[in-house]
Amino acid sequence: EQALDLFESSSQRGYVDVFSFGSAMSACEMAALWETGLALLGHLRSSGLPATGAVFGSLMRALDRGGRWQEASEVLELMAVLGTPCQAVHFL
C-alpha cells in the first residue's frame, strides 16, 4: 500500500514515468490488486507513456493471483494490438 500511496502522491504532482508505473504495478502484483492494476494500466495508457512488457507481466501475475483469467486474456489481446512483445520471462 505504501508504494501505491507514493505513486499516487507523485502522480498528483506530475512526477511519474514508466519506471514509477512499473513499481506501482509490481506492488499490485505482490498484493494481488488486479483491479488497481487494470486502473493503473488505463492511467498509463492515457498518460502517453509506453506500457512495457514488465508492466504487463506484473499485471498478468496480479490477474493470475486473483483468478481473473478473462481479464488476463483481454490484456494479452491488448498487448498484441499494441505490439508489445509477449515473452515468457514477463509471466514467471
pLDDT surpassing 80 at residue 1 = no
Residue 14 CB partners (closer than 8 Å, separation 6+): none
Which of 75, 18, 83 minimizes the C-alpha distance to 47? Answer: 18
Handedness of CA 77, 80, 82, 84 (dihedral sign): positive
pLDDT at 61 (0 to 100): 93
pLDDT at 88 (0 to 100): 62
pLDDT at 8 (0 to 100): 76
C-alpha angle 51-30-90 in degrees, rounded to nearest 5:
40
pLDDT surpassing 80 at residue 9 = no
Q: Is the pTM of this model over 0.85?
A: no
At 18-40, the pLDDT tens digits run 888 888 999 999 999 999 999 99
